[in-house]
Structure 1
């Protein structure tokens, strides 16, 4: 049986039952009796490699249904079933729903299975192409991240925390386009480069800003989006970041709502920034921060908050410990800023310890003084290994 998920939408229950009997052993199959059920399936049971839709359905026809889910499931390959394969129908389906193949009804299950196999191969090709695109743009993302690390280390640390938060929540909720959300979370902080240090210091201290300073601060997402838009294949990431500077979009009819991925990205980053301000900024524990965010339920999405609670409650147990630079291990998380003995920031709190970070700090310690020990979050196993290390060394 193929591992690729397939969705068939048809308002004829007998047709769906017949396809289920013939195809369920070959494909990971889901069915829906109308476009409304189809939208729900795409939002909550996807992602689907292939979506098959009947053309003639009540209220919303197949072409309109496929067009509605294009933004939510852009990589899904679409097949249209129609008993009215005239030119106008075909043109509407191609233009609105980006249909891969048409099949006339009644359609034999074997013929449909062959078309689905071809569509699965097409889906795999698209996924491979998308992966090549991701690899191609990763260099641009890395370059912009390094610029942020050098010019605004505090913003870079926040970017690392936002990426980790968004990645965890996207995985928890099994969201499509996760890489776009993670990328947008990191690059959303690029706008801080355009904020003068004096304005930034006033903002940190809570001092009153002038009208011009407030405008500069408020336009940071637009500034970041303009920079991102210069990179090829990052158009949607730029849209997500630009949307971060706007209020939540008005919701549509909840009975048949297709989740806008741009708005979902904005909501993710907004929740991540709010959570980061409470935990990293104010020192509030994660679960208490969640409770406070839940109180502002009109601002934050209920589904995201529920996913956040599941993630926090199921997270690996970590403990706060003190280590020296030489004791840092990959996977630890900095619980405070790493600073020189004179107070200059080297690495901001929240960043995950990596080989590159350890090498950077180790080299710096050879010629400069770093304030030690450093507070980090570590798994209980890592903390126990560090505690046992001196005892083992003494015993040997």
Structure 2
């Protein structure tokens, strides 16, 4: 495993789990006003989530399995130093494949000491594969990994990372209030600011992307989108809000989503599990947005993730057919009837439309296909 991937796994872990975490919701004043994409994780909400224990355990197993170097990392100690994680950038970089942006991590006072200790340990190892070193002649305590990824501590409780050191300096100007932020110059990047989500990922300018794969071309009908994930009581919840240029595009996008759900329900009539999933999707439409809201019992999500992890582990170790116990565990349990729920939407004053029954979905799907054919889509 390359050092970039190893560090990536460590920071990914920090995003999913932590111990003794301080509440750290998104601070819009830390995000530059020109940001075109943004991702944030609320650690307090993560630790409240029912799935966090499973995520932490699986994370430790994955890091231990893939860390082939002589340096080991105390994951619990590292995660305990992470208070919040925010990443943003001014270009999407989808077509070029390059990540243009910065990572801001609010930390405890010990994380920089951990970095220095890691370097000291590395210097004692003759066969170390991780090229991580301190950088001199910088305005902040700074480090570089493989000569391409910079880390800087403007102060003991803030870590900023980027491939370009100039972006680190610019990001700190925003944090200090010396450059404009989302707080004093709203850009419409945040489409759903409802509380209760532990992960949000949002982007704008999706309609300008070129060379999109067929399965993602629906995004070209949108101006932006935000995915929010969290838990609501005993349900796992995912909400997707897509912004559009106006009512006509919103209606067309709404019909496309209806058609996709209808086709999924027709193709899986005998699959009660998938039908239950489809029936739990709620769709709403406004003048310039479409909201897709999905809720599913946490217990069922946990069972599903357990099966996926077991299957992945079995393949990694060359396991063959599942045991009888595993097969019994994978048998579908009786499905409970989905209860109607109201999904969140960015503007309740706009006209809202609840998802239609299957017959209406089918009719909408046919109309949508006819419309697309007529336009040569």
- TM-score bracket, normalised by the shorter chain, equals under 0.3
Answer 1 or 2: higher relative contact order, Cα 8 Å, separation at least 6.
2
Write 1 or 2 for the structure with the bigger share of helix.
1
TM-score, length-scaled by structure 1 = 0.26
Write 1 or 2 for the structure with the bigger share of strand.
2
